[in-house]
Chain A
Amino acid sequence: MRNTPDIKEFHRPKTVTEAIGLLSQQDNGTVLIAGGTDLLPRRQSGRTGVTKNKLVDISGLGLNYIRETQDAFLIGAATDINTLASSPVFKTSPYTAIIEAALAHSTLTLRNRATLGGNLCNASPHADLALPLLVLDAVLVMEGPHGQKTINLDNFFIGPHCTVLEPSEILTEIRIPRMPEKSGANFIKLTRQHTAIDMAVVNAATCLSIKNGICISARIALGSVGPHPFRAKKAEAFMENKTLVKNTLQTAALFQEAAGLAAKEASPIDDIRATAAYRKEMIPVLLQQSLGKSLERSLS
């Protein structure tokens, strides 16, 4: 019988409090598992994250839900990505970008197990779901020994596979505030081939909120071109208060300039998927398309 390398304990807490207790009492040897689609293959191939050998399973904590309140959408961290992709809640603009990213994430089979919280907490530079959530100003709810705290997703990632989450804390919920009327968002992903399983060469999301023809808020997020998914804030600031009219040369020129600014904020590296130079070239191409789609959706 083969065993996954060095897994010594497997705990199945029934409540969040119990899970936090397990995380707090064991010194640094515990790691959370939900679907396991990232954690387990990383152990099999002996890459990073294999030092922690006590697993705490959070699939029994009731964190698989999507709820709507008056001013936000609430998603349980252990919600699987196919559930997210098929949720009727996100079928209206600008939230459709969440569905686009969910459907672009890995494959139908993997998405049955992979969870939204897992995609965020793994903090891969390629994390598809991080991008629509960044442009939709998502807020993360974390529970720990000292109670609950919230943090903007924008402040969550600190490096490749690295977040601000403490070893004794659990991401329990992702909150997406309701955006102003006339907001449109889009997710876009460039991969090497048409194989669904590959990670992005560049992935991005944009969101535009329009009032009386003027952009009152712009969000541009990039993935796979830096240590973690991030917002291109100079490009966002440039877009604000600009008059936007779809399919006009003036607006296309504004998008081109914003996309160029965003590319300057990126710091891609060469890897097996693409060179840094190619990635840098592709950022403006993807962002111009994405901004065009977001504008179109904000007006419809």
Chain B
Amino acid sequence: MIPVRININTEWREILVEPGERLIDTLRDRFLLTGTKEGCGEGQCGTCTINFNGKAVLSCLMLTVQADNGHILTIEGLQDGLDLHPLQTAFLTESAVQCGYCTPGMIMAGHALIKDHPEPDDSLVKHCLANNLCRCTGYEKPIQAILKAATEMKEKSHD
């Protein structure tokens, strides 16, 4: 077992893990953060996307030991008390959710994008979502939702 210290949704956690334990399993099984979903488990579908040190990464393609001393943000860490994050609100109001399985991954990919590019254009959002598969709603609405959230977050930051 290997000792690992990870900051998950602003809280430092210390755990002992097997060398082969995947980050997605640590999040879901140890910390019950089941908002992060597993799809293909091979890095193709993007359903397990989280933010690691501010960047979008696939939690099925990371070992927990690789996240040692890092900062993780999952979908559960986005909302502020009972208030949804602008990205979550935009996915609702734009009807960008159907079955919802791919949604946490898309929102976390969008979250990392907006952090680095507060004013993304259509093309950048498409590149951002290129690693996120949706099998029901399609991509147009999630793209619109991310653009809308970016605009709202920018306006809010000027308030």
Q: Chain B CB within 10 Å — which of A10, A12, A41, A109 has the most?
A: A109
**A9–B19 touching, CB < 8 Å:** yes
**B130–A197 touching, CB < 8 Å:** yes
**A7–B20 touching, CB < 8 Å:** yes
A48 lies within 8 A of chain B by Cβ: no
**A44 to B68 alpha-carbon distance, docked (Å):** 22
What 0/1 readout, one digit per residue, does chain A (229-260) give for beta carbons within 8 Å of chain B? 00000000000000000000000000000000
Categorize the interface residue count of chain B: 35 or more
B109 to chain A, nearest CB (A): 6
Given the contacts A36-B66, A113-B61, A1 and B18 also touching, CB distance less than 8 Å: yes
Main secondary structure of the interface of A (DSSP, over half): loop
Question: Which residue of chain A lies nearest to B65 when distances are taken between CB atoms in the complex?
Answer: A10
What 0/1 readout, one digit per residue, does chain A (27-40) give for beta carbons within 8 Å of chain B? 00000010011001
Categorize the interface residue count of chain A: 20 to 34
**A12–B68 touching, CB < 8 Å:** yes
Summed over the interface, the residue pairs from A and B with CB atoms below 8 Å come to a total of: 99
What 0/1 readout, one digit per residue, does chain A (1-35) give for beta carbons within 8 Å of chain B? 11111111110100000000000000000000100
Contacts of B30 in A (CB 8 A): 1
**B66–A59 touching, CB < 8 Å:** yes
Given the contacts A2-B25, A10-B19, A40 and B131 also touching, CB distance less than 8 Å: no
Contacts of B109 in A (CB 8 A): 108-109
Contacts of A107 in B (CB 8 A): 46, 127, 130-131
**A37 to B60 alpha-carbon distance, docked (Å):** 10
